[in-house]
Amino acid sequence: MDTNKIRKVAIQGYHGAFHEIAARLYYNGSPIEILPADTFEEVVSVVENNAGADVGMMAIENSIAGSLLYNYNLINRASVQISGEIYLRIKQNLLAMPGARIEELEEVHSHYMAIAQCKEFFKKYPHIKLVETKDTAESARDIAETGCKNIGAIASNLAGQLYGLNTLEESIETNKLNYTRFIVLEHFMNVPHDTGYNKVSVSFAVSHKTGSLYQALKVLNDHDANMTKIQSTPIPGRPWEYLFFVDFLLERTNAFGAVIQGLSETTLGLKILGKYKAGIHHED
């Protein structure tokens, strides 16, 4: 990883979003420029088309809400590769303008998922109306721009710092073991060809025959590949047929060729989605 190059990282959301925190932690002090996008489709598009971003940072699963199935399918259809991952604990904070008090708040704005994660906290404050918006960080930014002291936002500490907001309450999420896995996406032609990987992501279908999925997974077992994730999604236009997304760790990277050969013989439409180093878990 070139630590001197300023990497342009596309994220879904605005400055201060959890995607930006994940990007900063992943690049660990190396210079980056955040390119905000409204949707995950935009993130994938700018990476796939080399349209201004070097990489994309995308949430793919959450320890409470589960997999983001739409994002799995976006990746599978695009000419991008997973080149890295990072796990981040999601801490939701109640932010407001300097001088505001929680008793004076009339509304709190945030993304619907953030609101859902914090509803237990707001049972203590029934006078506060919870308003859904499209992004946590955008909610924080809007409050800073309008200066409204009777409106709060649920967002990250970084959003509070960037927009000059005070933290009225920290870590108000109900479940403190709330983690999101983010993946790094690059155009398949730009992914560095190094040997530092120990994790692989693939997608495939299997035939409607007894034991067909078992035969595919047996390949992993036979080569000491530890499956860390399996996710199925319906195949559009083919009722009751499913695409499987599988992540596995390789104890021996020289077994990669044999594993892929075995999967190609036991599955349909095998696609390698990425080879990368297993991600670090961050609490902040």
Residues with catalytic function: 180, 182
12's CB contacts (< 8 A; 6+ apart) are 19, 37, 38, 39, 40, 42, 43, 58, 59
Are 83 and 26 contacting, i.e. CB atoms less than 8 angstroms apart?
no
3-class secondary-structure state, position 240: coil
19 touches 159 (CB < 8 A): no
Query: Is the distance from CB of 116 to CB of 195 less than 8 angstroms?
Result: no
Distance CA 85, CA 277 (A): 8
What distances in angstroms separate CA 155 from CA 65, 102, 168, 246, 249, one per listed residue? Answer: 18, 15, 11, 32, 33
Smallest CA-to-CA distance from 201 within 277, 279, 273 is with 273
The kind and range of the H/E element at 70 are helix 69-77
Phi and psi at 59, nearest 5°, equal -70, 140
Q: What letter would DSSP give residue 197? A: -
